[in-house]
Amino acid sequence: MTTNNFLKLKLLLPMLSVAILSACGGSGSSSNASTNPQPTPIVQEFDYQKLIGKAINSDVPGIILAIDGPETTFLGAAGLANINTLETMQTYHAMPAGSAGKKATALLTALLHQDNLLDIDNTIDTWLPDSLLSQIEYSEQMTLRQLLNHTSGVYDYLDDRTSDEWFDTGFSDVETLKTDAYALQFALNRPAYFKPGEGFNYSNTGYLLAGLILDEVLGEHHHIAMRNRIIEPLGLNDTFYLGHEKSLGDIISGYVNDDGEIINTKPFYENVGVADAPLATTVTDLSTLLRAIMTDDTIVNDDIRELLLGEESINLVDATSQFYVGLGMFKNISGDFTLYHHGGEEAGYKTSNIYIQEIDTTVTTFFNCNGNAECMEQTDELVQTVLSSLLEE
């Protein structure tokens, strides 16, 4: 299998959603008609089912779209979940959400912080052993908060210099569970981007280290606490932690077109269980999680929300003009609108997950393609169109 070409594209860089949001004054993003009954959308001027249906082609096999707000509600799917069996995409299908799942890791950390089980402003040597930290430049200065808001400077294991090795090694053995500790090996003994607190650089490695810290604090793998503290209380019945809870559900196939070779990446992701991309989920569950972080008053109280996304500079990092970084979430100012979001980019899977504050609306899209330019460009355009339709109303 040839992987080098598509791996040169930085597959897990969710900053792509930033470009989408800033490219329009509202931006925007499921198939051939399904033979199974689909939910009937509310009658509205904009035909979202037609939009996603027309977007299906050889580069974009399948799409699921969910919009949930007081003025607009839509849930639809288009295309194929499996191009070999011709299984049609359904709104209830689950897939890896990639970095969109970072919000769950950050939320669990915030809950433990509130319970005084950890302090996110402690340096990571509070929990992690010297044998590991000696292989991470400036680790003695890094705090848990800095890992979560990408200001630690820690080398990203999905940097162009090491991403090929991560994927090539993983694809050579799809049966072995890849954990945080496994993925971390690709970031060790690499130079930091800067000293902790002196810059911003998106790093998935920070969340691997956060996962190991959670395990140490909890005395067991953190997927158990994530289920008990987040997944079950929020009623995310179709969500499970990839790899560690694969017996609880199945994921659809994901596709990369690598110079004409169509690669199904599902076998690889079935056994990847890492804190930087923990969740397999549905569009409705992911929308519920995002809305809970933004508006919930049960497990996410005001103190938790302030910790994740508060306006104080210590909580919300000003990365660039109109773009801010919280814990597991981004904030964009787009004209008169405030958007909170974090998408996901995996080889063969692409997710957008956005909350528009002024109209109290979530927009979540799933695509079972990613990693080649044609898919990425077309899906970006779709998300832009959906957001524009909502922000221009």
Query: Of how many residues is the chain composed?
Result: 393
The label of the residue with tokens 């981007």 reads 193
- Mean pLDDT to the nearest integer, 252-263: 94
Q: How many CB atoms lie within 10 A of CB 44?
A: 14
Least confident of 133-137, 196-200, 232-236, 297-301: 297-301
Query: Model confidence at 393, in pLDDT bands (50, 70, 90)?
Result: low
Q: Nearest-CA neighbor of 309 among 243, 357, 374?
A: 357
Amino acid in the structure at residue 228 = N
* Gap between the Cα atoms of 154 and 212, Å rounded: 15
Q: Nearest-CA neighbor of 17 among 300, 382, 293, 284?
A: 382
Largest CA distance in the chain: 60
- For residue range 44-77, list pLDDT tens digits in order: 479 999 999 999 999 999 999 999 999 999 999 9
Sign of dihedral through CA atoms 19, 345, 388, 319?
negative
* Higher pLDDT among residues 242 and 3, named by residue: 242
- For residue range 194-214, list pLDDT tens digits in order: 999 999 999 999 999 999 999
Sign of dihedral through CA atoms 313, 334, 149, 10?
negative
Contact 354, 364 (CB under 8 A): yes
* Gap between the Cα atoms of 140 and 173, Å rounded: 34
- For residue range 304-361, list pLDDT tens digits in order: 999 999 977 788 998 887 899 999 999 999 889 999 999 999 999 999 999 999 999 9
Query: Model confidence at 392, in pLDDT bands (50, 70, 90)?
Result: confident
What's the confidence (pLDDT) of residue 63? 98
User: Would the pLDDT of 243 be above 90?
Assistant: yes
Taking the alpha carbons at both ends of the chain, their separation in whole angstroms is 47
- What is the share, in percent, of the chain residues with pLDDT greater than 70? 89
* Gap between the Cα atoms of 241 and 43, Å rounded: 35
Query: Model confidence at 224, in pLDDT bands (50, 70, 90)?
Result: very high
What's the confidence (pLDDT) of residue 109? 98
User: Would the pLDDT of 16 be above 60?
Assistant: no
User: Would the pLDDT of 12 be above 70?
Assistant: no
Beta strands in 231-271 (DSSP E): 240-241, 255-258, 261-264
What's the confidence (pLDDT) of residue 382? 98
Beta-carbon contacts of residue 116 (< 8 Å; ≥ 6 apart): none
User: Would the pLDDT of 41 be above 60?
Assistant: no
Beta-carbon contacts of residue 185 (< 8 Å; ≥ 6 apart): none
Range of the domain at 26: 4-391
- Mean pLDDT to the nearest integer, 102-116: 98
Q: Read off the CATH number of the domain in which 169 is found.
A: 3.40.710.10
Amino acid in the structure at residue 352 = S
Q: How many CB atoms lie within 10 A of CB 13?
A: 16
Q: Nearest-CA neighbor of 270 among 175, 346, 182, 350?
A: 175
Contact 12, 372 (CB under 8 A): no
What's the confidence (pLDDT) of residue 22? 33
Please state the separation of Cα 307 from the chain's center in Å.
Answer: 19
Helix intervals (H) in 157-262:
160-171, 180-184, 205-218, 223-226
Name the domain count of the chain: 1
User: Would the pLDDT of 295 be above 50?
Assistant: yes
pTM to 2 decimals? 0.89
Average pLDDT, the chain: 89
What's the confidence (pLDDT) of residue 315? 85
What's the confidence (pLDDT) of residue 2? 35
- What is the share, in percent, of the chain residues with pLDDT greater than 90? 83
Q: Would you give the DSSP letter of residue 254? A: -
What's the confidence (pLDDT) of residue 32? 33
Sign of dihedral through CA atoms 56, 60, 62, 68?
negative
Q: How far is CA 27 from CA 57, 322, 328, 385, in A?
A: 21, 15, 21, 6
Beta strands in the chain (DSSP E): 62-68, 73-82, 87-88, 95-96, 240-241, 255-258, 261-264, 279-281, 317-320, 323-325, 330-334, 337-341, 344-346, 349-356, 361-367
User: Would the pLDDT of 226 be above 60?
Assistant: yes
